[in-house]
Chains A and B, each alone.
Chain A
Amino acid sequence: MKGYTATLPGGEAIYYVDRKRWFWMMSVLYPLQPLLGIWLHSTTGTQAWLLLPLFIGYVIVPLADWMIGEDTNNPPEEVVLQLDRDRYYRVLTFLVVPLHFISLIGSAWWAGTQSLSWWSFLGLAVVAGITSGLGINTGHELGHKKGRLERTLAKIVLAVPVYGHFWVEHNRGHHRDVSTPDDPASARMGENIYKFALREIPGAFFRAWAIEKDRLVRRDRSAWDADNQILQSMLLSLLLQLGLLVMFGWKMIPFLVVHNVLAWWQLTSANYIEHYGLLRAKDSNGRFERCLPHHSWNSNHVLSNLVLFHLQRHSDHHAHPLRRYQSLRHFNDLPTLPNGYFGVYLLAYVPWLWYRVMDHRLLALPHIAGDLSRVNIDPDRRDAILEKYCATGASSA
């Protein structure tokens, strides 16, 4: 297996092998799951196989995360430059781009041409949508890089989940405002995921549009100019979905509506859990402090990280947004999620259970230590939360 040599500051030579190197292919293959379900349906005739990806994502992966556990290993800083320059890791993120298109087109083809029961049709649309939502993860990894090819591929893959505004919104909006009350993509304590979705989905779109419009105005162009990066990706989405409609007929209308909503819901789910309740403090000038590792919830669970290009090492990602996935680090004493993202999503979908698991974790973080003035709280729930936690002596606020 390929290794990297480097010299530590003390003069000691080290040889580092990335044990996860080949396992990163799982992030490439994971979005092909709908095709696995289709293949099993076609060979056995049992429509329930179409739902297999839901079972893999929300039962097998969380159980495997629970059983295999966490990996806290970091590459030595001295080899990170070599790791970043190793084209293999980059090529994996390129390879997955066409696979997202193939997965959606294959699912649409099957939904449009087979006589499926209503529940398996709906199930296939849900599976396709969740899988396209993973395209936002691919676009996320690619879009944070400086290279023109990577940025272009990010905008192309974001056409699959119809989330062309993500590149502008996430890089220029979310990263700037993360873990502040100003960020529509950072969840507040006491805000359930359904209420959050209604703030996040439109809020993110309008913020992206405003940022892109500002850029175009500086260039003396209209917001509707062909240079608008949001419109470029959205145009590709329109062509793709119109093409599916022409090829596979009216059934594509309900299929694509469900697909698109579920793809967006995937991002909403990730955004909801990634910064829940966390708040950057203001300095003496009234500026928010810069984003530090404890301003994001982290998960070191191995399997879910391997299928998500290390997205769950979110603390290091927000502190250092251009760091490549293979080099993201674990730190001690981070806000830590109890499972990988897929398992934690299930918690988030049941608000009372979410609050029960997460609120005490949030208040117990070393930098919060029960002080509610250091928490991003939903203004509508502030009084109830203060009453609940101050009454029990959990807060000094």
Chain B
Amino acid sequence: MSEFKCPECGYTYDEAVGDPHEGYSPGTRFENLPDDFACPDCSVRFKEDFEKA
């Protein structure tokens, strides 16, 4: 399980926790997020912009 961080606002997607509010249950791999995944907090960085923490 890894964490991925938005380089703009610091939002962190932790695969172990997921993001239940956004509909990503705990254990959802980052690679399985939708291709058009945008940062849930700032929306100006996308899946390909996220950095592995």
Interface positions of A (Cβ within 8 A of B): 146, 171-172, 175-176, 215-219, 290-291, 318-322
Whole-angstrom distance between the Cβ of A177 and the nearest chain B Cβ: 9
The majority secondary structure among interface residues of chain A is helix
Cα–Cα distance between A285 and B10 once the two chains are bound (Å): 25
A172/B41 in contact, CB under 8 A: no
Whole-angstrom distance between the Cβ of A231 and the nearest chain B Cβ: 16
For the complex of A and B, the 6 pairs showing the least CB-CB separation, nearest first, are: A218-B23, A219-B23, A175-B43, A176-B43, A322-B9, A321-B42
B-side interface size class: 10 to 19
Whole-angstrom distance between the Cβ of B31 and the nearest chain A Cβ: 16
Residues of B within 8 A of A318 (CB): 44
Whole-angstrom distance between the Cβ of B2 and the nearest chain A Cβ: 21
B9/A290 in contact, CB under 8 A: no
The residue in chain B whose Cβ has the minimal distance to the Cβ of A319 is B44
User: Can you offer 13 A-B residue contacts whose CB atoms are under 8 A?
Assistant: A146-B9, A215-B23, A218-B22, A218-B24, A219-B20, A290-B49, A318-B44, A320-B8, A321-B8, A321-B42, A322-B8, A322-B9, A322-B41
Residues of B within 8 A of A176 (CB): 38, 43-44
A215/B22 in contact, CB under 8 A: yes
A175/B44 in contact, CB under 8 A: yes
A171/B43 in contact, CB under 8 A: yes
Cα–Cα distance between A215 and B38 once the two chains are bound (Å): 12
A321/B24 in contact, CB under 8 A: no
The residue in chain B whose Cβ has the minimal distance to the Cβ of A217 is B23
Cα–Cα distance between A291 and B44 once the two chains are bound (Å): 7
B42/A290 in contact, CB under 8 A: no
